[in-house]
Structure 1
Amino acid sequence: MRINPETVDRIKHAADIVEVVGDFVSLKKKGANYSACCPFHNEKTPSFNVNPSRQIYKCFGCGAAGDSIKFVMDIDGIGYGEALRYLANKYNIEIQEEELTDDETLRQNERESLYIILNYAKNFYQKQLNDSEEGQAIGLSYFRERGFSGDIRKKFELGYSLDTWDAFSKEALEKGYSAEILEKAGLLIRREESRPGDRNSPGYDRFRGRVIFPIHHVSGKVIAFGARILKSNAGQKANQPKYLNSPETDVYHKSEVLYGIYQAKNAIRQLEHCYLVEGYTDVISLHQAGIENVVASSGTSLTVEQIRLIGRFTPNVTILYDGDIAGIKAALRGLDLVLEEGLNVNIVLFPDGDDPDSFVRKVGAEAFKAYLKKASKDFISFKTEILLQDAGNDPFKKAALIGEIVQSIVKIPDVIKRQVFFQRTSEMMKVDEQMLITEGNKLLRKLHAQKPQERKSRPDNAAPGGPNDLDFLSGMEFRDDSEIPADLFFPEEDVPEAPQRTKLHYQEEAFVKLLVVHGTKELEPTITVCQYVLSQIEGIDFKDPVFHHLLTLFRENYSRNHVLPTDYFVQHHEAEIRSIAIEWLTAKHALSELWAEKFEIYVPFETDVLDKTAFNNILRLKKAFVEERMKVCLQHAVQASSEEEQLAIMAEFMHFKHISMAAAKELGSVIG
């Protein structure tokens, strides 16, 4: 089914770019626009810009740009239709659909089919939990025993899978879903003897006799399931794992997902803090206690992608550990990743035998919150304490842990924070601060000793810091010149040269940008910018193919008394034109309000002096155009076959020269 055009228009008008993007990243007001670190590439300085007046976004780092629909498509990796359905659901718009042709049906995005079947499975498991005798007796009893209220169960969409071989797949097949899509979604395991298309006995359900924890994408769509077995008395169940998760699919990559991020993102953004736990029930129990800014790594080692997902909403994260010291020591080795991403990391350790779930149920919500404040320690101090306890009075172990602590400190991108932690570690370990800095410099020297080709061979998405990147070195101050690496900078040949653009290219761009951004605006009653500037450049064509195409569009439409509006280009079917238009409409820097409010300095905007801007653009374009003609004249003069031909060419050259000088004088340019 296809969404009809009227519904598409309603969705476009209802969708607010700030709300849509704000569901995925934490936006900060910056003048009239909003900014954030880009969700499409790794960065620590915000270059992602959202323009609410134009309803567009633009990243000046990676070039990503578009409107609300394009953002949802790119952030979720889904098609146009599914992005529209997501926005329609967000803004409670009833979808009117039209029949697709057979060819269009075949071209439906498989990812969209996966989302549909996973949502169907979620609804099925919820129904079994609440309506079936087995679900109520086993699953519902388990959740109630843990203190999960009806609202919490609904919030996390908890469910139950019946203890039969094919209860889910049988019903799904009867509803028309294929065995292939069930298998690709990780819901069905095929029997060895079954064949594709065998609807009678294709396989068996992956989840059987378990409580179900749906795993949501940050947008709210179900992408996978976690399942916990409850019965352990049957012989065949004794060998089954306690927890069973969906396999990796086209829509589920466990290294990129945090359990509870959809339910927690607003609280994380509002409180500017995130708690990180290990299990599903830890997350749900803390939500039940009113602590909603919490997510879980779902038992996997913390990954760079998960850290960056948290970093979209806050730079502050506190990791909650149970009292297992051996497990904590193992986990500490991987937490340098969090430091490398520029997050502020704290650690809370619970008493032996307790985890977040058991502790909050034991002491209550208020006592739990008080404990978090009291027991929270920054990562470097916590790691130093743990390793010092382990080293005791052994000087060799203490020397080894110095190197390990320094390795963590030099991963911190911010130079001021690094200095603070060098000082604090010096005090805790009772060692000279300069010695710690010297050790840090040795690590840096080893890194720089890598051959240039080794640095080049690293993947683009390698984690910054450590042995994989040089980003974390920015701002590092060496106290001894001898510690400065010899090859601090890459050789010149490693730096790609920027493509050269002529003066004419810049003026063509400025002229077309004026048409795209301000073409419909009036300079005087009944005289638009488009009408004025086009009338002044008759006989001039552009060399750049994209700018020539845009100029032709304006000329053709104006000949029919129609001026193309800006939105025509923002929503153009050609991606290159759409991207250029959005880039022109998005200001990279915002003017501080203090200029006018505090200093009473008033800076005119382009729209305030549009007549002057249009006039100057025409002059600059003509000047650049005739200067290109002058270059051609000089080339022809050198190749002239007679003195008469050479004199004629030079006369033409002087004609263009006078035009150029007149334009320069009008513009106030300094010429030789």
Structure 2
Amino acid sequence: MISKLTSDKVKERADIVEVVGDYVPLKKKGQNMWACCPFHGEKSPSFSVSPSKQIYKCFGCGKAGDSIQFVMDIEGVGFQEAIRHLAGKYGIEVEEDEARTPEQNLEQNERESLFIALNFAKDFFVKNLQTEEGRAIGLSYFKERGFNPQIIEKFDLGYAMDGWDYFLKAAKAAGFEEDILLKAGLILQKEGDPSRLYDRFRGRVTFSIHNISGKPIGFGARILTKDKNQPKYINSPETPIYHKSDVLYGMFQAKKAIRDFDNCFLVEGYTDVISMHLSGIENVVSSSGTSLTDGQIKLIKRFTNQVTVLYDGDAAGIKASIRGIDLLLEGGLNVKAVVFPDGDDPDSFSRKVGSQAFQDYLKENSRDFIGFKIGLYQEEFEKNPIRKAEVIREIVQSIGKIPDPIIRSVYTKEASGLLEIEEEIIHTELNKSLIKSQKEHFQKAKEEAEAEEKLEELVPSKNLLSVEDTLRIQEKETIRLLLNYGWKKLDDEDLHLCHYLMSETADIVFFTPVYQKILKIYRDSLSNGTIPTTDFFVSYSDAEIRQEVIDLISPRHEVSVHWLDRHQIFITTESDDLAGTAFKSILRLKRRLVHKMMDEAKQKIKSAEHEHFDADKVYELQQVYFELKKVQLQIDKELGIVIG
């Protein structure tokens, strides 16, 4: 286990803006930074990062936490690995607890063991390039491609020896268990004889596949001989840490350039990515020859909304893979395309013309998806009017995938000009397409609603809050004030807000468990002479408390400074009159509590009247109810609530 001293150093040094900024582009708005959430698809930013509080909070999906929690969420790792990741980023030496035994040091959870095994494999394949076989086959292949030593090192290129168990023997000698090597996809079991194990990658050059933080999670491997019985490329299988649908080759090396240039070039193969880096273009990733997935599109959208798809000069191949453009449009990305001359791909073309000419070609031949699609089919529909009608419908369907109505309108106008057809006709077809999609969406929603009908008969309407719900909301508001302003003094009095709230709630039992816990922790700290800070709660061991506290200290909106600076409009806030704010909050809490007690009294009266009639008991309960009603009216008067 990592020592507490190391964890504390990481918490002290890690800056939430820097950590989150490695994964998503942040824009300043008010006091906080904002972005589209990396954890769920959204069109407008609801993911907030607070530099002052060192926390993040998504108001869409609810994800929240500090720097360590963000790494845990985004990388899908545990606390220990998140600490190691941040320690590496900030150059902090990781210290292990001395209390751990050698046996405990060998025990790692499966996920961490897989990362270690794959990193060992990466180093093993890289070192193989220096062997006699590696130099003769692997290194010579890379040199033929024009790959220099710097690019080979940058992408962790390597070579798998041509033998059944070169890697297996080396890994076992290094202490790796066969079970971990199997789960990492590095070795295979012989069919019919599970005890016979052998290397998955043999006699091939290797391309390391990294996750977004740069850790090896899998490999692609290319054979260099012309063996018809062997596939040209083989890849790592799905593992607990490698999900092909969520990974893009080269994203780790490209993410900074993608943010800087606000554009992502999308290519097909490993060598396409590497060749473009050699040509001075680093904002490029590859789908590794597979069809685009929703997870890969969301990964691109973390860094930019602009995508340029690069197609090999093969018309048949382009038409077969063009569906990816619709997926990109549907994902909210702005799409352009570049087609290379017939017979060329980004790798071969960049080597043929050189770096500068390659970059110039991309600039001069980049077309938006409308012009690209029309140009692709132009020869066909010029000879066949019916084919032109089909192309128009395909273009309309693509435009219909765009979620932004303004961008849809712009592309409709452009398509009208390029296709030489009235804009109104395209609008009509587009409306038909949108109506059809809406009907499908409506039907799906209707089916979901019908599935919940029976439940709605058993529970109160969602729009009607129960007495318990309203009490919970007011308890939440009391805790929110306590966390955000507990350390502040009320007016000119020598009284902190937390002491006032604690005094007023001394005889009140909170009914919501998490607020009970927070209140008790706060009371215990005060009894020890310490006012707990939000930092104390954000790093608290209880995950439920951490999540709730972050929710309560993260404001969704803030008043623009321009109201006062530019327009001289002064907006009062709750912090301007903390004494009044706290007083009213306590009154509302007590009002909700009185409501709950009145509701319980009514239930008891009904029970006494119907189940086992007791006139004296009924009278006694009625008196309790009327006294509670008097208290409620007194509170209403203080709050200025008038009820007819």
Say yes or no: TM over 0.5: yes
> Which of 424, 427, 432 is the matching residue for 2:414?
424
Return the structure number with greater helix share: 2
Output the CA distance in 1 between the equivalents of 2:605 and 2:188: 79
- What does residue 481 of structure 2 align with? 514
Of residues 364, 378, 397, the one that matches 1:388 is: 378
State TM-score, norm by structure 1. 0.87
In structure 1, the partner of 2:531 is: 563
8 Å CA contact 1:79–1:109 kept in 2: the answer is no
Distance 2:178 2:231 in 1: 25
For the 8 Å contact 1:30–1:590, the answer to whether it is kept is no
Q: Which runs of 5+ in 1 are unaligned?
A: 197-201, 459-488
Q: CA contact under 8 A between 1:322 and 1:354: conserved in structure 2?
A: yes
The equivalent of 2:594 in structure 1 is 626
Give 1:542 deviation, angstroms. Answer: 2.0
Alignment partners' CA distance in 2, 1:398 and 1:227: 43
> Distance in 1 between the 2:317 and 2:450 partners?
40
1:379 corresponds to which residue?
369
Task: Say if 1:451 and 1:577 are closer, same or farther in 2 by CA, change over 3 A.
Answer: closer
Q: Which amino acid aligns with 1:498?
A: K
- Structure 2 CA distance for aligned equivalents of residues 494 and 301 of structure 1: 41
Q: Structure 1 residue 315: deviation in Å?
A: 0.5
Secondary structure, in 3 states, of the residue corresponding to 1:527?
coil
* 8 Å contact from structure 1 (residues 3, 95) kept in 2: yes
Distance 1:451 1:336 in 2: 18
Task: State how far apart, in whole Å, the 1-side matches of 2:137 and 2:452 are.
Answer: 68
Matches of 1:626 and 1:455, distance apart in 2: 40
Q: Which residue of 2 aligns with 1:210?
A: 204
Match of 2:39 in 1: 40
Correspondence for 1:163: 162
Q: Who is 2:248 aligned against?
A: 258
Q: 1:58 to 1:495 in 2, by over 3 A?
A: farther
The amino acid that maps onto 2:249 is: Y
Q: Distance in 1 between matches of 2:24 and 2:254?
A: 13
Residues 426/558 of structure 1: CA separation in 2 closer, same or farther (3 Å cut)? same
Contact kept, 8 Å, 2:279 with 2:358, in 1: the verdict is: no
- Provide the secondary structure at the position in 2 that maps to 1:320: strand
Mapped partners of 1:530, 1:555: distance in 2: 9
Secondary structure in structure 2 of the residue aligned to 1:371: helix
Partners of 2:21 and 2:447 in 1: CA distance: 36
The residue number in structure 2 matching 1:466 is none
Q: 2:279 maps to which residue? A: 289
For residues 163 and 448 of structure 1, the distance between their equivalents in structure 2, rounded to whole angstroms, comes to 56
Bigger drift between 24-33 and 541-550 goes to 541-550
- Shift in alpha-carbon separation, 1:449–1:659, aligned structure 2, 3 A: closer
Matched, 1:239 2:229: yes
Question: Partner of 1:351: helix, strand, or coil?
Answer: strand
Indicate the residue corresponding to 2:263 in structure 1: 273
Structure 2 partner of 1:64: 63
**In structure 1, distance between residues paired with 2:63 and 2:192:** 47
Does 1:580 pair with 2:548? yes
Q: Distance in 2 between matches of 1:60 and 1:546?
A: 20
The separation in 2 between residues aligned to 1:317 and 1:185, in whole angstroms, is 32
Q: In structure 2, what residue type is equivalent to 1:43? A: E
1:212-231 matches, within 5 Å, as 212-231=206-225
Percent pairwise identity:
51
Secondary structure, in 3 states, of the residue corresponding to 2:552? Answer: helix
8 Å CA contact 1:161–1:208 kept in 2: the answer is: yes
Q: Distance in 2 between matches of 1:498 and 1:412?
A: 33
Q: Secondary structure at the match of 1:212?
A: strand
Q: Which amino acid aligns with 1:667?
A: L
Alignment CA distance shift 1:588-1:451 (3 Å)? closer
Cα shift readout 1:361-387 (whole Å, capped 9, x = no counterpart) = 333333222222211111122112212
Q: Distance in 1 between matches of 2:71 and 2:158?
A: 28
> How far 1:343 sits from its partner (Å)?
0.4
CA contact (8 A) 1:391 1:398 kept: yes
For residue 118 of structure 1, report the CA deviation from its aligned partner.
Answer: 0.4
Give the C-alpha shift of residue 146 in structure 1: 2.4
The answer to whether the Cα contact below 8 Å between 1:286 and 1:294 also exists between their aligned partners in 2 is: yes
Worse-matched range after superposition: 542-551 or 159-168: 542-551
Distance in 2, Cα, partners of 1:637 & 1:174: 78
Q: What is the CA–CA distance in structure 2 between the aligned matches of 1:366 and 1:525, rounded to whole Å?
A: 71
Of the candidates 634, 639, 643, which is equivalent to residue 667 of structure 1? 639
**Counterpart Cα distance in 2 of 1:371 and 1:289:** 12
Work out whether residues 20 and 68 of structure 1, in 8 Å CA contact, stay in contact via their aligned partners in 2: yes
Cα separation, 2, equivalents of 1:413 and 1:52: 32
How far, CA to CA, are the matches of 1:320 and 1:303 in structure 2? 17
> How far is 1:22 from its partner?
1.6
Are 1:213 and 1:226, in contact at CA under 8 Å, matched by a contact in 2?
Answer: yes
Tell me, in whole angstroms, the C-alpha distance in 1 between the residues paired with 2:520 and 2:103.
35
Question: Measured at CA, do residues 418 and 189 of structure 1 come closer, stay the same or move farther in structure 2, by a change above 3 Å?
Answer: same
Q: Is the 8 A contact 1:276 1:294 kept in 2?
A: yes
Partner-residue secondary structure (3-state), 2:188: strand
Instruction: Answer with 497-506 or 341-350: which moved more.
Output: 497-506
Instruction: Name stretches of at least 5 consecutive residues in structure 2 with no aligned partner.
Output: none
1:323 aligns with 2:308: no
| TM-score of the superposed pair, with normalisation by structure 2 | 0.90
Distance of aligned partners of 1:591 and 1:6 in 2 relative to their CA distance in 1, 3 Å threshold: same
Deviation at 1:394, TM superposition (A): 1.3
CA apart distance, 1:358: 2.2
Task: Answer whether contact 1:321 1:348 (CA < 8 A) is retained.
Answer: yes
1:67-93 CA-to-partner distances (Å, cap 9, x unmatched) read: 222222222222221221111111111
- Contact preservation (8 Å) 1:452, 1:490: no
Q: Which residue of 1 aligns with 2:148?
A: 149
Helix, strand or coil: the match of 2:324?
Answer: coil
Q: What is the CA–CA distance in structure 2 between the aligned matches of 1:314 and 1:452, rounded to whole Å?
A: 31
Change (3 A) 1:494 1:41: farther
